Amino acid sequence: MKDQFDRKIDYMRISVTDRCNLRCQYCMPQGISLEQHDDILSYEEIMHVCKAAVSLGIVRFKITGGEPLVRKGCVDFIASLKELPGVEQVTLTTNGILLPTYLDALVAAGIDGVNVSLDTLDNEQYQKLTGSKQATASQVIESIENCAELGIKTKVNSVLLAQTNESLTKMAALAVELPLSVRFIELMPIGTASVFEGIPMDEALECLQGVWPDLHPDHSKQGNGPARYYASAKLKGRIGFIDAVSHSFCEQCNRVRLTATGRLKLCLCYDDELDVKEMLRNNVSAEELQNAIKASITTKPRAHCFSEPTFITEQSNMNQIGG
């Protein structure tokens, strides 16, 4: 379907849980409050939303969290969603720690792609950033390599943080030997992340072009989102940038988000949302649900307001929103 600005909305990010097995400083640090079990949508309720979404032309879905794989039954849900008539694509965003346990099942479920979050290749720095004493960057890298070797469309998502600036080129170098995309994401000024220092995309690109002078824009379609990709003759994969703060992509925005607590979000900046959970638990009809989602999407804002933080009304952390 199209919103009031004639943008085609065909992509939904679904958070299946606000829980995670890591405690990344800018996302959900130690001590953060979590939702009660009864406040989280059941998989059956999420599927009702997906059916309504598909009927409106939303046919591409990203499963997120928190960490989606910590929720029991996540892979089975992905398999069911893949089988839903009209669905064209289902992908997963994960921190990669549990991928070795579920990778074969994900392949069997027909997963179309996996995005793995990783901000540093240094094990000590990784544990400091993620608040983990057991997990390491090396484990995550192994999961990334396994995904790529199995032929799964693989992307590495790395937030541009001031404290990881020195590892920028090493992270990008994952695309030298592996046919994957390494994507650098500008820090979103939302929730606990608003107090962290990020790195501008232009500065990061200049640094990488110092290593790969032939790095040039690649306009081939690599995914559903707003990333801008770059290619080099020395890379098997691609380097991408998701730079919503310094280079707005709002004119091409094609997405909505469903939080784990059943809120349909239209834009990361604002807390305007549709309470889908209340509708589902009041036993509304499929037609009523569809009409409500359609009406909500029609009001999707023209643009975010990251450049004017005083206008940001969303105060939730990223684990509560779903990224």
* The most confident of 129-133, 171-175, 194-198, 313-317, by mean pLDDT: 171-175
Q: Is 66 left (phi over 0), alpha (psi -120 to 50) or beta?
A: left
* Better-scored residue on pLDDT, 155 or 267: 155
- In angstroms, rounded to a whole number, what is the distance separating the alpha carbons of residues 229 and 239? 6
Q: What is the pLDDT of residue 193?
A: 47
Is the model's pLDDT at 309 over the cut of 80?
no
Q: What is the pLDDT of residues 202-250, one digit of tens each?
A: 889 999 999 999 999 998 877 777 789 999 999 999 999 987 666 667 7
Structure tokens at 237: 């994969």
Phi and psi at 8, nearest 5°, equal -80, 120
Q: How confident is the model at residue 190 (pLDDT cuts 50, 70, 90)?
A: low
Determine contact, residues 135/104, Cβ cutoff 8 Å.
no
109-137 mean pLDDT? 95
* Better-scored residue on pLDDT, 110 or 315: 110
Q: What is the DSSP string of 234-290?
A: T-SSEEEEE-TTTS--GGG--EEEE-TTSEEES-TT---EEEHHHHHHTT--HHHHH
* Better-scored residue on pLDDT, 303 or 74: 74
Q: How confident is the model at residue 320 (pLDDT cuts 50, 70, 90)?
A: low
* Mean of all residue pLDDT scores within the chain: 89
Q: Which residues, in sequence order, are bridge partners of residue 231? A: 216
Determine contact, residues 24/131, Cβ cutoff 8 Å.
yes
Is the model's pLDDT at 145 over the cut of 80?
yes
Residues 6+ apart with CB under 8 A from 149: none
Q: How confident is the model at residue 78 (pLDDT cuts 50, 70, 90)?
A: very high
Give me the amino acid identity at 299. T
Q: What is the pLDDT of residue 316?
A: 57
Task: Map out the domains of the chain as residue ranges.
Answer: 11-321
Is the model's pLDDT at 126 over the cut of 70?
yes
Determine contact, residues 12/61, Cβ cutoff 8 Å.
yes
269-275 mean pLDDT? 80
Is the model's pLDDT at 293 over the cut of 90?
yes
- In angstroms, rounded to a whole number, what is the distance separating the alpha carbons of residues 156 and 160? 13
Single pTM value for the model:
0.90
CA dihedral 68, 71, 77, 81 (to 10 degrees): -30
Determine contact, residues 94/69, Cβ cutoff 8 Å.
yes
Is the model's pLDDT at 165 over the cut of 70?
yes
Q: What angle do CA 152, 157, 160 make, to 5 degrees?
A: 165
In a 3-state reduction of DSSP, which class is residue 2?
A: strand
In a 3-state reduction of DSSP, which class is residue 115?
A: strand
Of 107-111, 179-183, 272-276, the poorest mean pLDDT is in 272-276
Q: How confident is the model at residue 9 (pLDDT cuts 50, 70, 90)?
A: very high
Q: What is the pLDDT of residue 181?
A: 96
Q: CATH fold of 11-321, please?
A: TIM Barrel (3.20.20)
Of 121, 114, 160, nearest to 140 by C-alpha is 121
Phi and psi at 228, nearest 5°, equal -105, 125
Query: Alpha helix (H) ranges present in 6-59?
Result: 43-55
Q: What is the pLDDT of residues 16-71, one digit of tens each?
A: 999 999 988 777 776 677 889 899 999 999 999 999 999 999 999 999 999 999 99
Q: What is the pLDDT of residues 82-117, one digit of tens each?
A: 999 999 999 999 999 999 999 999 999 999 999 999
Is the model's pLDDT at 271 over the cut of 80?
no
Q: What is the DSSP string of 150-217?
A: TT--EEEEEEEBGGGGGGHHHHHTHHHHSS-EEEEEEPP-SGGGGGS-B--HHHHHHHHHHH-TT-EE
Determine contact, residues 30/53, Cβ cutoff 8 Å.
no
